[in-house]
Amino acid sequence: MSVELDVFVGNTTIMDEEVYQLWLDGYTVTDAVKVRMEGGVLDECEANADVVLSDTMDQYRTFHMCERLLHSPAKLANQLLYQITPHRQTILIERYYAFDDGFVREVLGKKLSKGTKKDLDDISAKTGVTLKSCRRQFDNFKRVFKVVEELKGPLVENIRHHFLLSDKLAKDYAAIVFFANNRFETGKRKLQYLTFQDFAFCAGQLINNWTVGAVAGPDSFVDNMVEDMDVDLDKEFLQELKELKILITDKDLLDQHKSLVCTALRGKTKTFNEMEANFKNLSRGLVNIAAKLTNTKDVRDFFIDLVEKFIEPCRSDRWTAADMKLYLTHYTNSVHILDTFKHQIVWDRYMGVIKSCIFKMYHD
Partner 1 sequence: MPGKLKAKIVAGRHLPVMDRASDLTDAFVEVKFGNTTFKTDVYPKSLNPQWNSEWFKFEVDDEDLQDEPLQITVLDHDTYSANDAIGKVYIDIDPLLCTEAASVISGWFPIYDTIHGIRGEINVLVKVELFNDLNRFRQSSCGVKFFCTTSIPRGYRAATVHGFVEELVVNEDPEYQWIDRIRTPRASNEARQRLISLMSGELQRKIGLKVLEMGGNAVVGYLQCFDLEGESGLVVRAIGTACSLEKLSSGSILNTHTHPNTAPASNACNSPSKDGKESPLAHGCRSTHNSPVHSACSSQRLSQNFSISVPTLIFTGMGSGGSAGKEAGPLKTLLRQQTQTALEQREFPFFTLTSFPSAFLLHVGGVVNARSVKLLDRIHNPDEPETRDAWWEEIRQEIKSHAKALGCHAVVGYSESTSICEEVCILSASGTAAILNHRYMREGCLDIGSTDHRFEEPSPPTCGFCHIPYDELNMPFPAQLTYCYHCRRQKVPDVLFTTIDLPAEAAVTGKGCHIQARLCRLKKKAQGEVNATAISNLLPFMEYELHTQLMNKLKLRSMNALFGLRIQISVGENMLLGLASATGVYLTALPAPGGIQIAGKTPGDPSNEQHILTIQKRINDAIAKNKELYQINPPELTEEGVGSPIPEPRQRSRLFRSHSESSDELSELDLSHGKKDAFVLEIDDTDAVEDIHSLLTDANPPIGFYSCNTETMPGIYNWTSGIQMFTSVRILRLSNTNLTNQGLNKIFTDLCENLLKSFYFKLRSMVPCCLCHLNFTVAVPEEELIQVAVTAVAMTFDKDQTQEKLAEKLIPKGGSDTDEQLQFPLELCADSSNSQPSSKISGVPESTNISSRAASVDYGSFADRCSTWLELLRLKAHTIRRGSVKTSRRTQSLAHSVSSLEHSSPLPEGRSRSLRSSRSFGGSSVTVVKMTPLSFLPGTRIIKYLGIINMFFIRETTSLREEGGVSGFLHSFIAEVFAMVRAHVAALGGNAVVSYSMQDCVLMENPNKNQAQCLINVSGDAVICVRESDQDSLASTTTIGHSCSSTTDVTT
Is 71 a residue that touches partner 1 (CB under 8 A)? no
Q: Which residue from 38, 40, 114, 150 is in contact with partner 1, where contact means CB under 8 A?
A: 150
First to last CA, the chain: 60
Q: d(Cα 350, Cα 244) in Å, to the nearest integer?
A: 10
Q: Closest separation between CB of residue 112 and partner 1, Å?
A: 20
Residues 222-241 that bind partner 1 (CB under 8 A): 222, 225
12 φ/ψ angles, rounded to the nearest 5 degrees: -100, 125
Is 270 a residue that touches partner 1 (CB under 8 A)? no
Neighbours of 207 (CB within 10 A): 24
- 3-state class of 214 per DSSP? helix
Is 274 a residue that touches partner 1 (CB under 8 A)? no
Q: d(Cα 40, Cα 329) in Å, to the nearest integer?
A: 55
Burial class (CB in 10 A: 0-12, 13-18, 19+), 40: exposed
Whether the Cβ atoms of residue 286 and residue 309 lie closer than 8 Å to each other: yes
Considering the complex, state which of residue 223 and residue 252 has its C-beta at the smaller distance from partner 1: 223
Q: d(Cα 249, Cα 340) in Å, to the nearest integer?
A: 13
Q: d(Cα 99, Cα 109) in Å, to the nearest integer?
A: 16
Is 217 a residue that touches partner 1 (CB under 8 A)? no
∠ CA 137-98-17, rounded to 5° = 115
Q: Which residue from 24, 55, 211, 327 is in contact with partner 1, where contact means CB under 8 A?
A: 55
Is 46 a residue that touches partner 1 (CB under 8 A)? yes
Q: Which residues pair with 152 in a beta bridge?
A: 227
Q: Which residue from 81, 131, 337, 345 is in contact with partner 1, where contact means CB under 8 A?
A: 81
* Sole window of 74-82, 100-108, 116-124, 300-308 interacting with partner 1 (rule: CB under 8 A): 74-82
Is 40 a residue that touches partner 1 (CB under 8 A)? no
Considering the complex, state which of residue 26 and residue 154 has its C-beta at the smaller distance from partner 1: 154
Considering the complex, state which of residue 51 and residue 322 has its C-beta at the smaller distance from partner 1: 51
Is 3 a residue that touches partner 1 (CB under 8 A)? yes
In this structure, which amino acid lies at residue 248? I
Is 67 a residue that touches partner 1 (CB under 8 A)? no
Binding mask 20-39 for partner 1 (x = CB under 8 A): --------------------
The residue length of the chain stands at: 364
Q: d(Cα 309, Cα 305) in Å, to the nearest integer?
A: 6
The two most distant CA atoms of the chain are separated, in Å, by 92
Is 43 a residue that touches partner 1 (CB under 8 A)? no
Q: d(Cα 172, Cα 163) in Å, to the nearest integer?
A: 13
Is 189 a residue that touches partner 1 (CB under 8 A)? no
* Sole window of 189-197, 221-229, 267-275, 327-335 interacting with partner 1 (rule: CB under 8 A): 221-229
Q: Which residue from 21, 28, 130, 166 is in contact with partner 1, where contact means CB under 8 A?
A: 166
Whether the Cβ atoms of residue 182 and residue 233 lie closer than 8 Å to each other: yes
Q: Which residue from 23, 26, 110, 154 is in contact with partner 1, where contact means CB under 8 A?
A: 154
Site residues for partner 1 per CB under 8 A: 1-14, 44-48, 50-52, 54-55, 57-58, 61-62, 64-65, 72, 74-75, 77-83, 85-87, 90-91, 94, 150-154, 157-158, 160-162, 166-167, 221-222, 225
